[in-house]
Each structure stands twice: as C-alpha cells, then as structure tokens.
Structure 1
Amino acid sequence: MSVITLTKDSHINPQPYRIKFKDANAVLGAKSKIPINDDLPILETESKVAIIGGGFAGIATAITCLTKLNEDDIAIFEKHDNFGGTWYANTYPGCASDIPALWYSFSFALNSNWSRIQPPQYEMEEYILEVVKQYQLRKYVHFKRSVTKLQYNEKAANWTIYMRDLTNGQLIKHTAKIVASCQGGLVNPHHFQAEGLENFEGEYMHSAIWNHDISLEGKNIAVIGNGCSANQVIPSLLKSYNPKSITQIARSKHYIMPPLPYIIQFLYQLLSFSYVGLYLIRTIVSVFNEARYPLTKYGYYSSILRFLLRNQSLYYMRITAPQKYHDMLIPNYKIGCKRIIFDYEYLPCLHDERMTLTNEPISHITKDSIVFKNNTELKVDVIVACTGYDFRRSFHTYELIGRNNVNIGDLWKKEGASAYKTVLVRDCPNFFFIGGPNASPGHSSVVTSIESSCIYFEKLASQILSYRYDSICIKTDKYNQWAKSAQEELQKAVFGTEFGGCSSWYNEDKFNSATYPYSQVHFWYVMSHPVYDDMELQKRF
C-alpha cells in the first residue's frame, strides 16, 4: 500500500499525457486498419502470463502478478504507444473523471493531491503513469501491438496469441500459459453516420479522437450528442476556445445531477496526510455511492430512492437550465436507466448567447451545413460527434478460439457476450477477463470492480502457476446458468429495459453485456470466494 503525490507536470505540459491525433486515428478512426506485412519474418515470443491491454485493468493485473503471485514472467500488449487506455486516448477539451477520482483510482496506490474532485484527463493519465513507474511495469510492456487472434492448444495446455506490430505490420506469435484480457469497453468510438457526411468540407472529429491542431476560434461548431462527453466538452469549448457559436444537437435526454459537493474535496484535503486518512475518505465515498445501488431495482426502498434522486435532479435542471430548453433536457424514464451525469458547468453554459440547443433530427449533411428534417439548415465549420462508444465491438476486436475449436465470437453473436461471473468463458481454459462482460457497475467505480476481478484472478492463476493444475476452465453448464440468471436479473433492473423506460447502450438487442446484475459488495464477495465445483480442474500428468 502506498501514497502517490503528483508533480502536476501534466497541468503545465499536457502533450506527453495524451495520444497524438495521428496515432489515435490510425487505431480508432472510422477507416483504421491493422497493417499486414508478411514479407517480414514471424516473430515468436513466450511468457507464462500474457496481458492484453495497458489501461487500469491491465495495470492492475500486472501488479497482481508481481506482488500477489510473485510472477514476473509476464508480457503486456498494448495497441497504443503508452499506458493509460481510455485515459491516454480520450483527450477532448474538458475530458475528466465523471466520479470522484479518490474513488476512481487504485486502493493500493492512493493519490494525495488530486486538483479537484473530478480531475482532468491529463491528470488522470499522470496518475496512471506514476503507478506504472512505481511498479516498474515498462520492462514488461510491448506497445503498438494489436491482437488479432487467440487460439487454445489443448495438447500443450497453452494459448497462442497472434498480433501485428502496428509500426510495420509484422506478425508476432506469442505463447502463454495464462491469458488475461484487459481491454476496456469504452474504447472503440461509435462513429456518427449521416447521409452526405463524406462531402462535408469543414472539420469533422469524434470526441474520442480529438485533433488539438485544429483551431476552433471564431468557428461555428455543431456538437452532436448530449451524454457525458458532450456535457464536458461544450463548457470547455465556450470557456477556452472562443468559438463564434455552438449548436448542440441532442439525440436523447439524461438526468443531470448538481455538481459533486465541495465537502468531498475538503474532507479529502483534510485527510490526505496519510494512507489511512485517504483510505477513510475513499471508504466513506464508496459506502455512500453503494447505498445508491437499490435505485436500479424493483422494491419499495428502490422507488423511494429513485423518487428522491429524480426530484433532486429535476429541481437542479429546472433552476439551472434556460426554461426554453426544459422540454429537450428533462427525461421521463426512470433515473438510472442511463448513466447519471454529475454536472460541472454544462447547464449554466446553456445561458451563453453563443450557445443553442436543439433536438431536431438530422436529415443530411452538405459541404458546409447540417440540414434538419424540418428543412432548416445550419451552417457549420466544425462537426464534433459526441456519439459514444461501440461497446459490443470491444468483445470482437480479436478472434477467440477455445478448445474443440469453438469460436467464441460466433457464439456471442448468437447468444450475446457473456462470461461466468464476468471472468471465465466456456471452452477457454486459463483465460480470464478483467473488466469483462457485465463487469461494469451502473452506480459505482469500474476500478473497484477491476480490483475485485483481480482477487478472483489471483486465486485461480495461483493454482496454475504453482503447477497444482495444468488448466482451469468453467463448466459449460455453469457458464450457461450464469448467463441466464444474470440476464434475468438485469431485465428486472432499470438499465435500458422496459422497466427503466429508455433505450441505452447498456441493453442492446435486449441483452445486457455491460452492467453487473448485483451490488459491488456482492461482486467483491463472489470474486473472493471462487466455487471450484463449477470448474473443470485439469491436473498435471
């Protein structure tokens, strides 16, 4: 356990803490392609543990291997050129943690000097890199490697990972006893699509692939979307980029809560003198937020909690936003059906004379304008798409072939992406998801669920690395039982369901691969107590 103190160099010089636009676009852009050069020799490598992804989940898994399993024969594969995952790739103006960072950080590496309750992207990245430095993880990482296929070898009881070097297209074949897939869900941008967009002669960019070289001063900007990223980017553009105008095109409605109370930051600063103090305030915030969990379910207490939170949100929205926009902003579904947004400066900025909000559907795009379905035309110089992420695609970025040549991707296309207790996949021995299907909390910090998943990983991986078992795999019937019970429970929740009253990326095609069906206390307990009877434990011969 340690306390980290940031230098805040990222505030003075943010460039090293964010990906270059060229690199982000090459990997995440609408036309991105993995380079292939089979003229180069195949590079063959190996390790006991292979970790796919260098964000929060990959870092936590690597640290678990080093500190809990005493295993340093590990290899981390990351498609970008630095650690950080989404906190390295997402650099749009105003990008920040949407929950308190003292909670959205590792419990074993607490930071003593967050600049605010929800610090900016570059400060989050600086924290991540400081953790990487403290645990000396750079010696284990291979950057700019894009995994294309994983195949299980039943005879050798190991995995072959096929990947491409993004700098030259070279094929790499890596063999590992254990694979931990640590790719986040909010990675691949959901690119805006509209008739005629290809003819637009102005600047277009997705918020997840921001080009900081584009000047926005004096420009007419259209921002499409009104989720968390739009709520963060618009105030920042108005405050720091001096646009001529911003027109926000809202496609749905969200519950917006008042800014997080300053008392949290005050108590944090008061208790930041030691790890014990930091852990105490983190625990207080965690307990308070965990108490909100019932709002997602049926029940008397749940309905009371939703009533109180909904009224708090509606009161804030009505007194803060211009009255002319109330009908465009205020939802009529149950609170929690979409992720709740804590306001920073968005609603007040709607009073800015340069700002216009509309919910008119788009018909098509011309070379210099957006044409709406009511035949009105909006002249724009820049289009910013805050249209979110393709969550489902995150489970299909590589081919996953398990034992008996079972193609898991094909299975998921038919049944929906799932993993037993969010970690184990049928017919995939020694394969672990960290932050996998249904691991995201709808009310809590994903870093908390990542740490809980690492407890489970530690307990099972230790059985393999100690040579007690050659392989561990979830029984197919137990995998199916979990998938069925999880979906049945989630259909009783508000996350994008008929009960919740909204459509959401949580619940696409009526199958929810995103959120955990129970509380985070339940998740921690399940991760801490593996049921070995549910698994096939292959002993060494």
Structure 2
Amino acid sequence: MSSITLTKESHTNPAKFRVKYENSNKILNPGAANKSIINDALPALTTTSKVAIIGAGFGGIGMAIKTIKDLKVDDVTIFERHDNFGGTWYSNTYPGCASDIPALWYSYSYALASNWTRIQPPQYEMEEYIQRIVDQFKLREKARFETSIDKCVFNEESGMWTLYGHDMKTGQRLEHKCPILVSCSGGLVHPAQFQAEGLETFKGKYMHSAIWDHSVDFKGKNVVIVGNGCSANQVVPALLNDSKYDVASITQIARSKHHIMPPVPKVLLWIYNLLSFHYYGLLLVRWLVIILAELRFPLYKGNGFLSRFVRWINVKLSEHYIRNNAPKEFQDKLTPDFKIGCKRLIFDYKYVPSLNDPRMNLTNESIKKVVEDGIILTNGEFVKADIIVACTGYNISKSFKLPIETTKGKSVNQYWDTEGPSAYRTLLVKNIPNLFLIGGPNSATGHSSVVMAIENGIEYYKKVAKPILEGKEKSVVVKTEAYDRWFNDIQAELRKSVFGSAFGGCVSWYSNGSVNSTAFAWSQLYYWYITKFPNYKDLIYQPVTETKKTA
C-alpha cells in the first residue's frame, strides 16, 4: 500500500487522456458507419491465460492487480474494445466531466493519490490517475485493446472457457481459452440516445454527452441540453463559464427532477491537503468520507423514525441550497416531490449558481418534435437550436446483455431475460461455473463509491477462485437455491427502499419497474461483510478428478 503523486500533465494536455471521437463513435454509437466487421480471410488467432478479464476500467484494472499481486497468478489477459485503459473515464470526455464523489474514495484503497487538485477532480485528472496505476503495476503487457468479445462458452467437461472475439481494426477472429472468466464490463457503457420525432431533419449538430465531439464549435451557438442528471449538471456550467465555449444561450429540458445537494464542503480539501504527506493520513481522510456517507444510508430505506429524520435533514439541505442559489423562477422546476434518494443524489459543483446566467433557461416541458432549426415543446413554444446535446444517461438493460453460456445450454441472457438480471452476492450466476461479475447486478448504491464496491467484489473472487487457480478444484458454481434465495431476498428488501421504486415515488435507472437489478439493498458495511466472508455452503466445487457433474 502506498500513495502516488500525479504529474498533472493531464491539465496541460487533456486530449492525451481521452478517447478520440471517431473511435468512441465507432464503438458506442449503434448507427455509426464503418463498424468493425469480422474478416474470415484471416486465420483465427488462438491464445490462452489462467484468467481472462473483459473490460479495462476500474474493475478490470483492480482485478488484474489483485490476481497478480495477491493470488500470485501472472497469467492474465485483459480484453478491451477501446485503445486504452480507463473505461468510462477514458470514453466520457464532455466539458465539466468530473467525479461526482470525493476522489479519495473513488480510487483504490491501496494506491491513494496525494495531490488531487479538487475533491471531485475532472475527467482528465481521473484518467491520469488510472494511467499512473496501470504503469505502476505494469498492466499494459496484459491488455489486448481494440478487441471485441462476442461470445463466451464454458465447457463443463474440460472446465475451460472459450472466448470468441475479433480484432476491431483488422477483423481477425480470436479464440481465447481460460479456466476463469471475469466480466468487468460495467453498467455505464451504452449511451441511451435521445429519441424524438423529427430528429433526423435537424440541420444543426446533435451529440450524446457520452460521445462528445470536441471539434464542434460552440461559440455563439444556441444549445439545447436534454436531461437533468449528473452529466447535465456538469455540462451546463462548463458551457456557460468556460470562454472556450462562449455559447449564445442554453435551454435545458429538465424532463425530471433530482435532489441537488450542496457542494462537498471545502474544509474536506483542507483536511486532505493537511494529511496528504503520508498514506495513512490519506487513509484517515478516506475513512472520514466513508463514515459520513454511511451515516446518510438510513434515508434510503424504511419509514421508521431514523429514516424519516435523515431524509428530512437532507431534503432541507437540498431545498435550502436551491433557495439560496437558484433564480426564483427556476426553484420549483428543480425541486422534486418524491423521496430523496429515489434518484441518485447530485452533489453540486457549479450548476445551481450557473442558472443565474442570463443566457440560461430551464423548462420542465417535454420536446414534442425536432425541426430543422430547433425544437418545439409540448406547450407549443419554439426554441431555436444550433446544437442539441443529449444528457440522457445510459441503457443499463443493454449492459445486462452478456453473451455467456455453457455447452449444456445454460445461458446468462436466458436467466436474465426471463427472471430479471441478478447475481448471487452481485458476483455469481447459477449454472454458469467459473464466472465472476465485478460491478454486476445490484452492486451500485446511491451514497457510496463504485470503486469500493469493486474492491469488495474482488476480495470475494480472490477467496472463491483461489482453489481453481491453484489447480485444487476444477470449477465452482453457486447453488441454484442460494441464487434464487438471494434474488428473492434482495428484491423484497429493495421494495422497502427508495431506489426507483413505488415506495420512493419515482422512476429511475435503478429499476425497470418490476425488478431492480442495479441497486444494493443494504449498507456498504454489509456488502463488505458478505464479500469478505463467503458462505461456502452456498457453493459447489467440482474436484479436478471428476469428469462429469450433474448441473
């Protein structure tokens, strides 16, 4: 465990720390031209490793580090569609993009940065941190970039996975064999594109915030921002306040409302700088942030006195912040009427004060149709637009489409399409041996750090996968009854929680209405406990000597 120092090169050359637009558009935009195709004229490339990791974001990087350092298994391959590490922090490059929680918590506990410029640093600084970690642990030689994994098949007889994929540049097929498969593909991957009548007739520029085109000139342009979540909260002030953009106007279509909290207190940065001279000082500040966040957890579930009291305090903080910083005509348009936490909380940076800019307009009206030079709202109002930016989030359900199956006909998609996406303790799928999901179903929270959740999941993997990697066992799979019990228990608990539920009073990306496959129902302390201490009675190990096993 150690602290690291960033060079801040990302501040002088941010373009070095972001994906190129043409590459991002090719990978993430379903309608993009020149999509990668398979070239059957080339011979298939065959490779092997002990552990195959899909995804090179925080999850994939952390998995590789712990497999190599803690399990002493150096034979690891990381597959990634982009041309570099970073995942969402490499591909999301919109103006103002930044960590929405303190970076000291949104980073690896064993590699804490000693010189973040802000408590919630910008995208390029986050990506610089990721690149620094990759170089420190020598992971580049383990990665196969610009490679799409199209299907994964587990052979119950051999106990081996075969990954079928292709090189996205040449089209060459790939077949990779390994005993352990880890999916770290994440949920914030597939942009949910804005859909509206007439969009195809729009003569201006349209883009999704997740596929940002930095060549577009915003100066003097009339911009429509669709959405009111975390990305819009960051894009709006960046376009208004940065002289590089100097827009003529912004009209934000706030189709839904969010509880916007005051910025993270500046005193936290002061404490961080004071204690940044040593790793254990940084760890102390990290735990201070964790404890304060966990104290907010009661607002997410139940209707007891403590839950209602914590909700009341946080609602008052949000309302007071909006009342004191937003123009009076926008205050009602910003204030939700559902339970706080039903949608992810937004810790403001500069958004609410930026609404005072005379170039800014905010409306809760929806878009009726798009025309050549603007949009028409449901109230009949015409809004001129040169650029439309969709801050409409991600298609989470598409992220749950995993082409993973076994030679006996068991399929992840089959289970998830019929029962709803789920994973035992967020990590294991029934009847699919030797598969681990990091950042899988129900691993997200409304108050915590996804990196902390990733580290918890990796701890579970280390314990459960170790006998296979040591050659003592052939495979491991969760018992069907344990998987089903977990699913029923967590869904019942989530119905008592605020996350996009009837109890919470809103619709959000947490839930599709029938099954909540996104949110974790309990505290992060409990998540740490169930991943730190596996219940081996819920698992079935198949000995190496067995040649056949009943599913």
CA distance in 2: counterparts of 1:378 and 1:502, whole angstroms: 28
CA distance in 2: counterparts of 1:402 and 1:294, whole angstroms: 41
CA distance in 1: counterparts of 2:74 and 2:25, whole angstroms: 33
Aligned position for 1:482: 486
How far off its partner does 1:187 sit?
1.3
Pair 1:295-2:286 in alignment:
no
Aligned position for 2:368: 363
Aligned position for 2:348: 343
CA distance in 1: counterparts of 2:260 and 2:514, whole angstroms: 25
Check conservation: 1:53, 1:182, Cα contact below 8 A.
yes
CA distance in 2: counterparts of 1:483 and 1:472, whole angstroms: 19
CA distance in 2: counterparts of 1:417 and 1:338, whole angstroms: 20
Partner amino acid for 2:129? Y
Check conservation: 2:375, 2:385, Cα contact below 8 A.
yes
CA distance in 1: counterparts of 2:269 and 2:332, whole angstroms: 33
Partner amino acid for 2:237? P
Deviation digits for residues 57-76 of structure 1 (CA, Å, limit 9, x no counterpart): 00000001111100011100
Pair 1:535-2:548 in alignment:
no
Select which of 272, 277, 283 maps to 2:281: 277
Moved more, 400-409 or 418-427: 400-409
CA distance in 2: counterparts of 1:491 and 1:164, whole angstroms: 41
In the TM superposition, what are the counterparts of 1:3-18 in structure 2 within 5 Å? 3-18=3-18
Secondary structure of the residue that 1:40 maps to in structure 2?
Answer: coil
Moved more, 294-303 or 268-277: 294-303
CA distance in 1: counterparts of 2:404 and 2:69, whole angstroms: 29
Check conservation: 2:164, 2:173, Cα contact below 8 A.
yes
CA distance in 1: counterparts of 2:52 and 2:419, whole angstroms: 27
How far off its partner does 1:410 sit?
2.2
Select which of 235, 246, 249 maps to 2:250: 246
CA distance in 1: counterparts of 2:513 and 2:152, whole angstroms: 27
Pair 1:202-2:207 in alignment:
no
Deviation digits for residues 78-124 of structure 1 (CA, Å, limit 9, x no counterpart): 11000000000000000000000011000000000000110000000
CA distance in 2: counterparts of 1:181 and 1:75, whole angstroms: 12
Check conservation: 2:501, 2:513, Cα contact below 8 A.
no
How far off its partner does 1:293 sit?
1.1
CA distance in 1: counterparts of 2:184 and 2:190, whole angstroms: 14
Partner amino acid for 1:337? C
Aligned position for 2:445: 441
CA distance in 2: counterparts of 1:465 and 1:259, whole angstroms: 45
Select which of 130, 133, 141 maps to 2:132: 130
CA distance in 2: counterparts of 1:350 and 1:377, whole angstroms: 21
CA distance in 2: counterparts of 1:26 and 1:126, whole angstroms: 24
Aligned position for 1:190: 192
Deviation digits for residues 164-194 of structure 1 (CA, Å, limit 9, x no counterpart): 2111222111111100100111111010010
Aligned position for 2:398: 393
Moved more, 3-12 or 155-164: 155-164
Select which of 292, 312, 324 maps to 2:317: 312
Check conservation: 2:507, 2:513, Cα contact below 8 A.
no
Aligned position for 2:459: 455
Gaps of 5+ in 2: 546-551
CA distance in 1: counterparts of 2:201 and 2:249, whole angstroms: 22
Percent identity over paired residues = 52
Pair 1:108-2:113 in alignment:
no
Aligned position for 1:88: 90
Partner amino acid for 2:27? V
How far off its partner does 1:373 sit?
1.8
Check conservation: 1:403, 1:428, Cα contact below 8 A.
no
Secondary structure of the residue that 1:507 maps to in structure 2?
Answer: coil
How far off its partner does 1:392 sit?
1.3
Check conservation: 1:497, 1:510, Cα contact below 8 A.
no
Pair 1:432-2:422 in alignment:
no
Check conservation: 1:222, 1:247, Cα contact below 8 A.
yes
Aligned position for 2:508: 504
How far off its partner does 1:519 sit?
0.6
CA distance in 1: counterparts of 2:488 and 2:148, whole angstroms: 32
Partner amino acid for 1:516? F
Q: TM-score, normalised by structure 2?
A: 0.97
Select which of 38, 58, 64 maps to 2:60: 58
How far off its partner does 1:404 sit?
2.1
Check conservation: 1:402, 1:408, Cα contact below 8 A.
no
CA distance in 1: counterparts of 2:312 and 2:421, whole angstroms: 33
Deviation digits for residues 362-416 of structure 1 (CA, Å, limit 9, x no counterpart): 11111111011222211110000000011111121x4111352112212211111
Secondary structure of the residue that 2:50 maps to in structure 1?
Answer: strand
In the TM superposition, what are the counterparts of 1:257-268 in structure 2 within 5 Å? 257-268=261-272
How far off its partner does 1:30 sit?
3.5
* Alignment coverage as a number of residue pairs: 540
Partner amino acid for 1:25? N
Moved more, 492-501 or 160-169: 160-169
CA distance in 2: counterparts of 1:331 and 1:440, whole angstroms: 22
Check conservation: 2:206, 2:389, Cα contact below 8 A.
yes
Deviation digits for residues 340-362 of structure 1 (CA, Å, limit 9, x no counterpart): 00111111111101111111111
CA distance in 1: counterparts of 2:434 and 2:510, whole angstroms: 28
Indicate how the Cα distance of structure 1 residues 14 and 390 shifts in structure 2: closer, same or farther if over 3 A, else same: same
CA distance in 1: counterparts of 2:355 and 2:56, whole angstroms: 37
Considering only aligned residues, what root-mean-square deviation do their CA atoms show, in Å? 0.9
